[in-house]
Structure 1
């Protein structure tokens, strides 16, 4: 196998991983939002999910359908959307990741509004190893 072939395979692997991660970001965002809505209002209705995500009702319905197929959520007619144990675990993990990334950005002096926006993107793509380093850094600096 030539060096060009190896480089091509490595590049294809990175792009494949990035596509897969983008697909899971949507699931993560929806589970996190559903958990927040249930915590704040006692329920997560499709209308509220769509409004909070800034999407049309059919888009939110489609996303919830995907959550259900993935075993992350359930719903009943005329009732809200509920997370399964797996969906709830995903939501909690993402809230923890978000909080850690946000705390690091704030500790670095990033203004709160920018830190909040940046943390929303970073939380989905940072590795566990990097999160551990963030946590160690924050512990040392406090």
Structure 2
């Protein structure tokens, strides 16, 4: 079906794998201006063949438009999901990093949490993160309490 006539997906339930792919594609397009299978595979640490299979699925579901040898373009619904996952990732990373957790722990925890957090909870965490970043004394106090309870 031509890309112009493809129906975009409107479902709101996505697997973590779909979200990971859309996040990667979004980040690549934001950073480089384009997303290619080889770059997605490298970033996710999986084979190009596996990426091609998922990209074809995402194309069929209306999240991306994929043309072999030309790369991946996101549809509006794909962009929306990719942006939302990237936002979740950024908020969670900033919040946890602000408490001085080691980068490996932050990365592993964020990868799990970003797929299972509601919009309402993300809004609460965003508010907390912004308040803590704007109030270094409070953040210092909380970090101290955290260290003393460990």
Query: Which of the five TM-score ranges fits, normalised by the shorter chain?
Result: 0.7 to 0.9
Q: Is 1:134 aligned to residue 132 of structure 2?
A: no
- Provide the alpha-carbon RMSD of the alignment: 2.0
- Structure 1's consecutive aligned runs of 4 or more residues displaced over 4 angstroms after TM superposition are none
Find 2:68's aligned residue among 64, 77, 87: 77
Q: TM-score, normalised by structure 2?
A: 0.72
| Number of equivalences | 122
Q: TM-score, normalised by structure 1?
A: 0.75
Q: Is the 8 A contact 2:27 2:86 kept in 1?
A: no
Shift of residue 112, structure 1, vs aligned partner = 2.9
Q: Is 1:57 aligned to residue 32 of structure 2?
A: no
Which stretches in structure 1 are left out of the alignment for 5+ residues? 1-20
Which stretches in structure 2 are left out of the alignment for 5+ residues? 1-12, 135-150
The 2-side partners of 1:90 and 1:34 are apart by: 11
Residue by residue, what CA displacement relative to the aligned partner does 1:55-113 show, whole Å, maximum 9, x if unpaired?
Answer: 11221111101111221000123200111111111111111111111122123331233
Question: Which residue matches 2:142?
Answer: none
